Amino acid sequence: MTELTPTDEESGRAALGRALRYLREKAGLSLGQLAEKTRYDKSYLYRLEVSQRLSKLAVMEDLDRFYDSGGLLVQLWKVARKEVFKDRYKEFMRLENVARIMWMYQLAVPGLLQTEEYAREVLSASQTSDDKAELIEEQVAARMSRQDLLHRSPAPQVRVILDEVALRRPTADPQVWVDQLAHLVDVTRLPSVVLQVLPFTAGIHGLMGSHLWLLWERDGSSVAYVEGNGFGELIDEADKVADYRLSYDRVRDRALSPSDSMAFIRGVLEEHRP
């Protein structure tokens, strides 16, 4: 029987897989017998045990009840889920760095278009303690370094649809906000950057509630990355990416033209100038 003892540097997914196998063997069940009792497919249960797949939370809740394991599987699942999120975000960062075309729909000023002081205030706002100054500076430096891709030759073609809500949420320091708005105007002078504003008057649409990136690589392949409060998902299934592109196109149809968007941002900028 598999021993349920932690190993050094074991991933969360591997620990979850070992726990699933341990509990099954402790119960004296084969994979086939477990499948019959739980109504989960045998091959699916096998992939969970060998860490080839991460289930939905409800599956771990079911198996915790089945084994009477006191929530162990749910706790291990949460650890594994965090690792998956980090791994997918790292992959997104890699793809962003080599993308040929990049389209975004954003509810806040995206990192690629932020000033250093604006980035510092945004990143500081997400911290819940006062002892993270060094970490914040590292994050600011990393965010600023990402912007180098805008000045490459050739640079990726970047299109940003910025929701009006992003332009109605100023920073605590008025000058930081003025500088950020001015930077948005300046950055669109780059021939590779197009910025459009989606005004409140556009109404309800299919991308509300999350940020979206669509990336095309130099070989023509494409991925989508969707991010919300506390989650991020990298999507490479062709059908799903196509659905997100269609949603993006519909939102772009409602957005202001690039020239009208610049006029809109300049108007907001004038409202905030001292």
Q: Which of 129-143, 167-181, 213-227, 229-243 has the weakest average pLDDT?
A: 129-143
Q: What is the mean pLDDT of the chain?
A: 90
> Which position has the token pair 């790292």?
90
The span from the CA of 29 to the CA of 243, in Å, is: 42
List % helix, strand, coil for the chain (3-state, nearest 5).
55, 15, 30
- pLDDT-derived band at 11 (thresholds 50, 70, 90) equals confident
Cis peptide before 154 (omega within 30 of 0): yes
Can you tell me the mean pLDDT for 53-75? Answer: 91
Closest among 71, 86, 68, 70 to 27, alpha carbons compared: 68
The span from the CA of 141 to the CA of 101, in Å, is: 24
Domain ranges (residues) in the chain? 12-83, 99-272
- pLDDT-derived band at 4 (thresholds 50, 70, 90) equals low
Can you tell me the mean pLDDT for 153-177? Answer: 96
The span from the CA of 219 to the CA of 217, in Å, is: 5
**Longest Cα pair distance anywhere in the chain, in angstroms?**
74
Determine the 3-state secondary structure of 228 from DSSP.
strand
* pLDDT confidence of residue 160: 98
Question: For residue 85, is pLDDT > 70?
Answer: no
Question: For residue 260, is pLDDT > 50?
Answer: yes
* pLDDT confidence of residue 3: 47
* pLDDT confidence of residue 68: 95
Domain 12-83: CATH architecture, name and number where available:
Orthogonal Bundle (1.10)
Determine the 3-state secondary structure of 59 from DSSP.
helix
Higher per-residue pLDDT: 229 or 16: 16
Q: Which residues contact 231 (CB under 8 A, 6 or more apart)?
A: 85
The span from the CA of 59 to the CA of 64, in Å, is: 9
Angle at the Cα of 22 from the Cα atoms of 20 and 28, rounded to 5 degrees:
105
* pLDDT confidence of residue 131: 67
- pLDDT-derived band at 84 (thresholds 50, 70, 90) equals low
Domains 12-83 and 99-272 share a fold: no
Name the range with the highest mean pLDDT among 77-91, 136-150, 260-274: 260-274
Can you tell me the mean pLDDT for 11-28? Answer: 92
Which uninterrupted H or E stretch holds 211? Answer: strand 211-216
Positive/negative CA dihedral, 139, 140, 141, 142: positive
CATH of domain 99-272: 3.30.870
